[in-house]
Amino acid sequence: MTALPRISQSPTDPAFVQDPYAFYDRLRPMGPLVFWEEYDMPVAAGYAEVNALLRDRRLGREVPAELAPKIPDRLAPFYDIEAHSMLELEPPRHTRLRGLVVRAFTSRRIAALGPEIETLCHALIDGFPDGDFDLLQTYCTQVPVIVIARLLGVPDSMAPDLLRWSNAMVSMYQARRDRAVEDAAVAASADFAAFMRDYVDRRRSDPRDDLITQLIQAEENGERLTTDELITTCILLLNAGHEATVHTLGNGIKALLEHGTDPSFMAADRVEATVEEILRFDAPLHMFTRQVYEDVELFGHRFGRGDRIACLLGAANRDPALADDPARFDPSRTPGANAAFGAGIHFCVGAPLARLEMQIALRVLFDRLPGLKLAEPPRYGDVYHFHGLTGLRVSA
């Protein structure tokens, strides 16, 4: 069996950060699997391969117990939370946790948020400053963090703290991770967990019509979430519930303004297709790693238990086999498949909420500000394997 082709590309290189798609276009024709030297593992960049790997139950997220690295004591507050995250677990724990969350995170509950999201969007636009301003901070960030906070039952006044804690924790997954990033994530984890523990305790004695109360009360086959599981699940929903949506809103508005998209694509009957094209064209998460659980052959390459493989979601979405002229942003496309929210048992549980937020936020924004334009060229942050802007300065 021949060795995998190899490729080298620093994930923190400024040119790569601004345009990872040029690298993906070089990578994809090299074969279904290519060894990315800087990550020391094979990666898949084609849509068919990524989709298959995400659904393959011989692979998963959870590191086999006998291969799990020893966690340094200084990082324990962060990894103590991760230990109960359904994103990092496999069945049977994943099945149980996700089942309990889905019981509370219902489609009816999400759909009922529509009018509240629309009201919030109008209120935020009413508060926009005169002249040029950063739409990423004043709108794209605010909509999802306030919505998920309200859904959980956390006051709006906590949004800045939630955002600060979340950003620090999520930085642990970025290529630029260093000791300073780790220290900030540990401090944020401790503060976030302490806040949520206190909040959960209060909701146990004073139930409300919010997601925390629903998660406390959710039960399946006689089992409920433990306090640690509940805290981690709330943190996961807060972190994942805004991080991807912030990036996707920012990336999407950038694409719309740069391409001079017809405002009719923001109409209520067409905005859904626009959102799907945004997700395909410039996804917020570009890499999702998988652990190999058994000796297996995948796409002509042998893997052993404990090996790792990465799915490049951003590359899969630009696969020419998925869409004609994939580097072209075209909201008039008939919506098709994309890998932005993953696939298989780890498909994003918050995808319906993210889609609803984006559809409403975009429609309201372009309805209220039809003359919106870029005040300066936006730039992407050095945050791979996420993909999002550092700012979005616009004028109305």
Find the mean pLDDT for residues 154-180. 92
Find the mean pLDDT for residues 107-135. 95
Determine the pLDDT at residue 85: 94
**What is the token pair recorded at 103?**
């019981």
| Residue range 250-287, pLDDT digits in tens | 999 999 999 987 878 888 889 999 999 999 999 999 99
331 touches 277 (CB < 8 A): yes
Asked which of 132-136, 210-214, 389-393 is least confident by mean pLDDT, the reply is 210-214
Tell me yes or no: is domain 6-395 CATH 1.10.630.10. Answer: yes
Determine the pLDDT at residue 221: 67
Asked whether the predicted pLDDT for residue 100 surpasses 90, the reply is no
Determine the pLDDT at residue 220: 67
Name the band, by pLDDT with cuts 50, 70 and 90, for residue 240.
Answer: confident
Tokens 């889609």 map to which residue? Answer: 355
Name the band, by pLDDT with cuts 50, 70 and 90, for residue 164.
Answer: very high
Tokens 């990423």 map to which residue? Answer: 136
| Residue range 8-40, pLDDT digits in tens | 999 999 999 999 999 999 999 999 999 999 999
Find the mean pLDDT for residues 101-130. 92
Domain ranges in the chain? 6-395
Find the mean pLDDT for residues 124-150. 96
Find the mean pLDDT for residues 225-243. 88
* Amino acid letter for position 2: T
Determine the pLDDT at residue 2: 66
Determine the pLDDT at residue 182: 97
What is the C-alpha to C-alpha distance for residues 46 and 61, in angstroms, rounded to an integer? 20
Contacts of 156 (CB under 8 A, 6+ apart): 146, 149, 150
- Closest C-alpha to 166, from 236, 96, 263, 117: 236
Asked whether the predicted pLDDT for residue 1 surpasses 80, the reply is no
